[in-house]
Amino acid sequence: MTDATFITETKEYDAQFGDYVDLLKPRVMRLVIFTAAVGLFTAPVAVHPVIAFATILCVAIGAGASGALNMWWDSDIDAIMKRTTSRPIPSGRVSRSEALAVGLALSFLSVMMLGLFGNLFAAGLLAFTIFFYAVVYSMWLKRSTPHNIVIGGAAGAFPPMIGWAVATGGVSIESILMFALIFMWTPPHFWALALFRNDDYKAAGIPMLPVTSGTKVTRRHILAYTVLLLPIAIAPAFTQIGGPLYFTIAVGFNAVFLFGAFRLWKRDDASADADSYRAEKRFFMFSILYLFVHFVALLAEAALRALDLGVTSWPVWF
């Protein structure tokens, strides 16, 4: 008897390593890695570079694992929506059971290793993040309420908090504000996407705000959340991790973001259709830059402090 005796599969395509990597949503992982790194490097406690690398890797893999669990659960609607038909499961590259196995295995591995490399508090936060994204958001909120991304946005907001927890072992006003920044940014970001992907969400039966309440209400919500985001985005400037550089960048980018939200609010479906949702798409793209720049500014402030170039007379209110 040889090993060939056991081969009964006649599949034309076997999942390659890259297909499993695609299960982990690499684009989302990039944002997670970056924000977790900012949380870790802005913390007032130095972490050895090897430990920093290992713990950020754990957070990235944990986030990827929750992405795989999300793809396993949502494979039916992913097959309907244009944006997601090329994902590994609907395109037939990876089976559902494989995605579940990868998601569960990497979830346990990432949490366990973060507990060993970092600390138990950070590992607990990562476990909660995975649970929140896979169970609370994907299984419960996504298909049941138009406020799915408002509450579900918390899952994407945890990484900087985990990075901070790796360094300090706890939570503080700075990490809460970094969490709040991503949390409040998520609704305008995704509702802008939902405006020009409305047909997709409608076809898949996902109760996104434009599907349930119409585009007018959605535009109003985008403006309202952008206004609420403004003080949250500026507040870190007046904490230990902020400074004049962050303040200047935050004020500038929030002014542009607010103006964009105001423009969306003034528009109607007719004008959006006329230019193929140009303003909505630009607002969506700018929102990505907006978040990225805020975290780059925090990193720059940390670098300035490390080089003793920080402004000592800058007010710290929180």
Partner 1 sequence: MASVVLRMSGINKEHELHTRRKGRNVSVGIALGLFVALIFAVTMVKLSKPQGVDIKAPNFSLDAVTSE
Binding site for partner 1 (CB under 8 A): 2-4, 7, 9, 14-17, 45, 48, 50-51, 53-54, 57, 116-121, 168-170
> Nearest approach, Cβ of 139 to partner 1 (angstroms)?
29
CB of 89 to partner 1, least distance (A): 17
C-alpha count within 13 angstroms, C-beta hemisphere, residue 265: 15
Taking the complex as a whole, the smallest distance from the CB of residue 310 to partner 1 amounts, in Å, to 21
- In angstroms, rounded to a whole number, what is the distance separating the alpha carbons of residues 38 and 198? 34
The whole-angstrom separation of Cα 218 and Cα 205 is: 17
Q: Is the Cβ of residue 51 or residue 217 nearer to partner 1 in the bound state?
A: 51
Whether the CB-CB separation of 161 and 178 falls below 8 Å is answered with: yes
102, 134 Cβ separation under 8 angstroms: no
In the complex, the smallest distance separating the C-beta of residue 194 from partner 1, rounded to whole angstroms, is 36
CA 212 and chain centroid, separation: 24
Minimal distance in Å, beta carbon 210 to partner 1?
A: 41
Q: What single-letter DSSP state applies at residue 237? A: G
Locate 32 and state its tokens.
Answer: 């997670």
In the bound state with partner 1, the residue whose beta carbon lies nearer, of 107 and 148, is: 107
* Of residues 19 and 200, the one with the C-beta less far from partner 1: 19
Taking 3-state DSSP, the helix, strand and coil percentages for the chain, each rounded to the nearest 5, stand at: 75, 0, 25
For tokens 């970001």, what's the residue? Answer: 189
Measured CA to CA, the distance from residue 31 to residue 34 in angstroms comes to 5
120 versus 289: smaller Cβ distance to partner 1: 120
* Cβ distance to partner 1 smaller for residue 110 or 138: 110
Minimum CB–partner distance for residue 169 and partner 1 (Å) = 2
Nearest Cα to Cα of residue 184 among 240, 224, 136, 128: 224
Q: For residue 317, how far is the Cα from the chain centroid?
A: 28
